Amino acid sequence: MIFAQLKAYGWMVAAIAAGGLLLVQTGRLHFEQLAHQKLITTTTQASLKRSEAARADETKTAGKESTHATATQENSDAFTTSQPVRDAIARADLARVERLRLDADRRAATYRAQAQADDAARRDLADRLEAFDRHIVEGAGVVAEHREALARRDAEVVLLRGQIDADRALMAP
């Protein structure tokens, strides 16, 4: 008799059990869908924040690059603009050296003429004076070369310092 009742009501129990399981599954599916929507929202918000941060960083970097380019150009222009002054100083020094050389040659001719009029002592004195004048001319030439090199080095130092400042401004946080 239990078997007959179980047979008679078994399909109802199975249907109720299946309905209960279906309800549980539907509830689980609903909560999974809510969790999935929450995950999508969170991911979208995080992506938006990253995009905004990247855009802000790009804007900041572009500003720094623009400032760096301007500083580099100004630095280069200052160096280029100062070149004619350095060239003029070098030309003036070379002209002075040439004048000194001509004067030394004239004095040497005068000393030789005097030495020919006198004896060997005067010739010796003329040779010494000529050597002295050559040393003066060589010294003036060396001074001119050093002055030109120093002026170029000073301009390069200013150029490099300006470039360092521009690079530091670019790298600053």
Neighbours of 105 (CB within 10 A): 14
Judge contact between 167 and 68, C-beta under 8 A.
Answer: yes
pTM value > 0.75: no
Judge contact between 119 and 46, C-beta under 8 A.
Answer: no
Cα–chain-centroid distance for residue 103?
A: 50
Cα-based distances in Å from 47 to 34, 54, 83, 130: 20, 10, 53, 86
**Extents of the domains making up the chain:** 2-171
Cα-based distances in Å from 118 to 106, 128, 149: 19, 15, 45
173 residues of the chain, pLDDT tens digit each = 677 776 777 778 788 888 899 999 999 999 999 999 999 999 999 999 999 999 999 999 999 999 999 999 998 888 889 889 889 998 999 999 999 999 999 988 888 887 777 777 777 888 888 888 889 889 888 888 999 999 999 999 999 999 998 888 888 87
Judge contact between 165 and 78, C-beta under 8 A.
Answer: no
Lookup result for tokens 């003429």: 113
